[in-house]
Amino acid sequence: MKKIILLGMMVAFSCTLYGQEGEPLTFEKAVEIGLENNFDVKIATNQVLLAENEKKQAGSLLMPVLDLNNTRIYRKEDTEQAFVSDPENPRIIPNAQTRNNNYSLVAIYGFRADAVVALQRLGKLKEVSELEAKVVIENTVAAIATAYYRLVLELQRYEVLSHTLKLSDERLEIAKAQYELGRASKRDFLAAQVDYNADLTALVAQEQVIQNSRVNLNELLAIGPDKDFLVNDTITIEDSFSLEELKESAFDQNKGFLATQRMENVAYLQLKELRAQRLPTITLNGSYIDNTLNSDAGFLLSNQQQGINLGATISLNLFSGLALNKRIQAAKIQINNQKHLIEQYENQMLSDLQRTFNTYQNSKRLLEIEKLNYEVAVESSDITLDRFRLGITNYLEFRDAQVSRLQAESRLIESLYTIKENEIELMRLSGNIYFANLGENSQ
């Protein structure tokens, strides 16, 4: 797509802008650092891992349980036994020992239809988590882009104020010379001094704005607030956008909209899972046993058992206090709510696109007006300055021309930033901010 590149808003910006120290930081590099360090992105990535782990845990419900047991029992006790055949002569066995050694391998497999559906539901929730993580990433990219170009804007504004201060300084020197030569009143000289101080105050205040803008960008990049870097001074904007293409892309690529659709699928699966609880549950079990008993007392002096036990159980819940019916009714309501949420999200998404696109189009028209107005203001300022040097124009006319130029320059750079800001938002809403080249090195 064709680009329009405005370099420094027709002002010869260079790396001498205020605060332009440290290592270079392009927009692409800022995004790379942000996606690597930003805490919201890290948390969103971990949420995806948690969703994947929950899905794996649910998968274990469809797997059999296998236990290996070994039980050893040892008893030593004095035993007295009386038998029916000879009750008068009981058998006395001091320190009779009993040893029991039991090995068992037990396998249990229970099949529940609702567990199968639960696994599908958790799979959809994992997809939702992945989409939500992408939403966080896209929002982070958009925030970094906005903060980066806000810093560029404030640096450009600083340059405009610097130029204004330079003109005020020149006017002050002229007024001072004219006052000393008796060609101007002290009032003119003092007025020039007041205007110079006002412009110097604005420049100092702009330094604070730049510092805060840099801190805001550093915060998004998750680096120290005192980190300094050199940013480029070029802002690239798209030549045009098609609203219909943006809407079509939003339905296919907007991650928030896709996540809302997936949640409707989750609601349907939740209902299906609850209904599946009415189906029979099948439990299969099997075990291998090796049991050895040795005893010094009793009817059995030795007993050994080896063998396999198999069994199956089918259970069906007949009544649970209507609790399941109430949960099914709630699930149906949730499905209905989710449909409304999709409709609401769609309406909001299209409204946001329309509003942003309208602002974008209007801002581009304003940009053309501000470019022409800037050229006129610069020419008027230059003429007035020359006339002021010659003593033809008074200080009020000069100040008016100076202020008009300052306002024209400020509106021009603000207009360009507004276009860039709307462009970023359009790319985010249409789900294409991953692929949109928002940097200054676009071709």
pLDDT tens digits, residue range 168-209?
Answer: 898 888 888 877 887 777 888 888 899 899 999 999 999 999
User: Is residue 124 one of the residues assigned to a domain?
Assistant: yes
Burial class (CB in 10 A: 0-12, 13-18, 19+), 5: exposed
User: Is residue 310 one of the residues assigned to a domain?
Assistant: no
The predicted-structure confidence for 200-247, as pLDDT tens digits, reads as follows 999 999 999 999 999 999 999 999 888 888 887 677 777 678 899 999
User: Is residue 48 one of the residues assigned to a domain?
Assistant: yes
User: Is residue 404 one of the residues assigned to a domain?
Assistant: yes
What confidence tier does 97 reach under pLDDT thresholds 50, 70, 90?
confident
- The encoded tokens of residue 143 equal 């925030």
User: Is residue 84 one of the residues assigned to a domain?
Assistant: no
Q: What is the mean pLDDT of residues 264-286?
A: 90
The predicted-structure confidence for 318-369, as pLDDT tens digits, reads as follows 887 788 889 999 999 999 999 999 999 999 999 999 999 999 999 999 999 9
Amino acid letter, 439: G
The predicted-structure confidence for 291-329, as pLDDT tens digits, reads as follows 887 776 666 677 777 888 888 888 888 887 788 889 999
What confidence tier does 90 reach under pLDDT thresholds 50, 70, 90?
confident
Mean residue pLDDT across the chain? 84
Distance between CA atoms of 137 and 131, rounded to whole angstroms? 10
Distances in Å between the Cα of 387 and the Cα atoms of 159, 165, 180, 181, 199 are: 25, 19, 19, 18, 21
Radius of gyration, alpha carbons of the chain? 40
Angle between helices 323-389 and 255-276 (to 10 degrees): 170
User: What was the pLDDT predicted at 388?
Assistant: 77
User: What was the pLDDT predicted at 200?
Assistant: 94
Distance between CA atoms of 198 and 406, rounded to whole angstroms? 13
Range of the domain at 396: 3-63+117-278+320-429
| DSSP state letter for 233 | -
User: Is residue 315 one of the residues assigned to a domain?
Assistant: no
With beta carbons less than 8 A apart as the criterion, state whether 228 and 21 touch. yes
User: Is residue 51 one of the residues assigned to a domain?
Assistant: yes
User: What was the pLDDT predicted at 298?
Assistant: 64
- What domain count does the chain have? 1
Q: Which residues pair with 283 in a beta bridge?
A: 110, 313
Q: In this structure, what CATH number is given to the domain that contains residue 344? A: 1.20.1600.10
With residues binned 3-state (H G I as helix, E B as strand, rest as coil), the percentages for the chain, rounded to 5, are 65, 20, 15
User: What was the pLDDT predicted at 92?
Assistant: 77
Q: How many CB atoms lie within 10 A of CB 181?
A: 8
User: What was the pLDDT predicted at 299?
Assistant: 65
- The encoded tokens of residue 133 equal 């993580």
User: Is residue 73 one of the residues assigned to a domain?
Assistant: no
Please spell the DSSP secondary structure of 200-218, one letter per residue: HHHHHHHHHHHHHHHHHHH
The C-alpha torsion from 330 through 336 and 337 to 341, rounded to 10°, is: 160
User: What was the pLDDT predicted at 22?
Assistant: 67
Q: Is the pLDDT of residue 13 over 60?
A: no
| DSSP state letter for 25 | E
With beta carbons less than 8 A apart as the criterion, state whether 238 and 104 touch. no
